[in-house]
Chains A and B, each alone.
Chain A
């Protein structure tokens, strides 16, 4: 500590310490811990808080699993269903994104000449500077009942009456895949760019097929990039709110929408907090799984 002050001088040291303590403690750690604590407390009116009723309880987590006491079902099928659906869809979206982006990233990193690759990168970034809500809105125009896709399909005579893409959740899944695709491309591109082209040529000279080269050389090299891209896409998809708000059908819920409902419409903050903790734990488990699966450190995932 002393050497820290010596190294930076008193003025700068104070600035460093204030900035870091403010960020790490007040913005990151304390809010999360307080939310964790709140999720174990009953939903009380403000006057009763801190009173004798304000004890730790598992009531909100019980509600997630068993449902409200008045319901007849043994388990809370609705909420669990939404949760499982959210996680499962997020995983699916991640896999689809990975498959979509791998060829593009490989092309940009290894096949294209640098100028073309640069142009491609810049043009890829542009759509992602535009608000997520507006991008979802663009897809909504496409998928609407009398939208462009339906009109084209009817016009060419492929179908007779319009398909309701939004009710079938096709619009939602497309929107989620569309929303975070850039966060898959860039980690992959960064990882692949560092691959020595000579290795590819050597593999080819030794008679390896294209598929085998990718499987044995390119993919192992891009491991960290794949882990990083998958984690980011999964996290953002599972935690997405803007896209489901715009594109989900009236009878499909995304887990974040459920949280939003408990929080803002039903005014049950502690239950909202409990559901948030569930989402957070799912995300943390996924990150740990990716770290274990790809044998990478957390520092390699976020760069």
Chain B
């Protein structure tokens, strides 16, 4: 028994480490979104600010770092991503549904082949799906000559929808297959016996039964499309989606605006997950009540009668929420008290950095002079270096810091 306790204890620690491995990076990234420094970091902490969600900043060396609300490339990419996601849902859900229904109707050898081909796209690396779509459609566009076919064959958004549909249909297919496995086929037969046409059976029985699967397939398809990078980066050609914009930003240099974007996405995800969980629990509860009621009606056993109590209970999650809010207010208060929030703090940090930068510059210039003194002649002096640091106008364009 004792060894069991120790084992559980170790397991608990392990799970804690595992969860912090999963969440730690995301939490730290979220924190860096509020640091006003232009490099996403927790230390050194400059000021608490919302600038990365708003207008961004122009760094002391003249580099412009756009914030979330002012970055038009991001907005452009977002719109295209949403459009592509919508297109993929419209194509992939019906395809997945058709394939899964037909799978229940074919048999033996054909079934195995059909199933194997259907799940193949999931096992293909995403880059390969993107490439094959592009090369095929480029060929089609070449053969098709000028006109409509050539236009769509070289349209990045169209190709991306096709490429993503290729493997996202498989996700939908698998969701539908799982749901159809529990389908009672006698329902269909009964409807047919009662004189319904096949089309009616499809719309009145099969579709309503598949409705939950359609909903979850649509959500999954949209999310998979929205966050896809590997296929998109090839098939998008000269256009940009949200993910390719993010990728090019990350590659060019890392800015806290990306942390801010990530925080927005994380918040949306959390809200969605919590809403889903609440709905699911409520649904479960309702189902259980209905079953209890049914049981009571069937047996008429008074022991099974459940008096519905209407007492109001405070849900536990309120306490957690309250705790977070109080903690947040306290922390924020602390920030304000220590002068780590607001435009003043940002200004102070900025000027401190500027003066540090100009100090370093001065030091450089001094070194240059010292060198000249040491060498005592033409060699190694300012002349040899083309007067790089001697020219006071050189750094003028960087945006006016105080050189004196």
Contacts and interface: CB of A to CB of B under 8 A. Distances in A.
A and B pair up: yes
Interface of A: 4, 7-9, 11-12, 15-16, 19-20, 22-24, 27-32, 34-35, 38, 46, 49, 100, 103-104, 107, 111, 120, 122-127, 129-142, 144, 146-148, 151, 178, 181, 210, 231, 235-236, 238-242, 245-246, 256, 259-260, 263-264, 269, 272-273, 276, 279-280, 283-284, 287, 298-299, 301-303
Given A131-B243, A137-B29, A151-B43, 13 more contacts: A16-B101, A24-B117, A35-B131, A46-B142, A104-B15, A107-B15, A127-B26, A133-B246, A137-B262, A146-B39, A146-B41, A240-B230, A242-B230
B158 to A, nearest CB: 13
A15 B98 contact: yes
Contacts of B229: 131-133, 241-242
B240 interface: no
B152 interface: no
A298 B119 contact: yes
A133 B248 CA distance: 10
A97 to B, nearest CB: 12
20 contacts: A28-B117, A28-B166, A29-B117, A31-B132, A100-B18, A104-B15, A126-B269, A127-B22, A130-B26, A130-B265, A131-B243, A134-B265, A138-B25, A141-B29, A141-B40, A142-B28, A144-B39, A178-B22, A256-B230, A280-B125
Contacts of B199: 9, 11-12
Interface residues of B, number: 86
A239 B127 contact: yes
Contacts of A241: 126-127, 229-230, 233
Contacts of B18: 100, 104
Nearest to A31: B132
B223 interface: yes
Nearest to A15: B98
B197 interface: yes
B126 A140 contact: no
Contacts of A148: 28, 41-43
Interface centre among B43, B131, B234 (most CB of A within 10 A): B131
B123 A235 contact: yes
Nearest to A104: B18
Contacts of B43: 148, 151
Interface stretch (B133-141, B335-343, B358-366): B133-141
B250 interface: yes
Nearest to B22: A127
Contact of B247 (A130, A245, A298): A245
What is the predominant secondary structure among interface residues of chain A facing chain B? Answer: helix
A118 B172 CA distance: 23
Given A138-B26, A178-B21, A241-B233, A130 B202 contact: no
A83 to B, nearest CB: 13
Contacts of A46: 142
Contacts of A31: 129, 132-133, 135-136, 166
Interface string B176-215: 0000000000000000000001110010000000000000
Given A12-B202, A111-B11, A126-B270, A131 B250 contact: no
B125 A238 contact: yes
B246 A24 contact: no
B225 to A, nearest CB: 12
B72 interface: no
A259 B262 contact: no
B123 A283 contact: yes
Interface of B: 7-8, 11, 14-15, 18-19, 21-26, 28-29, 32, 39-43, 94-95, 97-99, 101-102, 105, 112, 115-129, 131-133, 135-136, 138-139, 142, 162, 165-166, 169-170, 174, 197-199, 202, 223, 227, 229-230, 233-234, 243, 246-247, 250-251, 254, 258-259, 261-262, 265-266, 269-270, 272-273, 277
Contact of A132 (B97, B129, B227): B227
Contacts of A242: 229-230, 243, 247
Contact of A141 (B94, B165, B254, B277): B254
A7 B169 CA distance: 24
A279 B123 CA distance: 12
B139 A130 contact: no
Contacts of A22: 95
A280 B124 contact: yes
Contacts of B266: 130
B98 A141 contact: no
B379 to A, nearest CB: 35
Nearest to A124: B22
B262 A130 contact: yes
Given A16-B102, A31-B136, A107-B15, A24 B127 contact: no
Contacts of B116: 298-299
Given A242-B247, A256-B230, A259-B131, A302 B136 contact: no
A4 B105 contact: yes
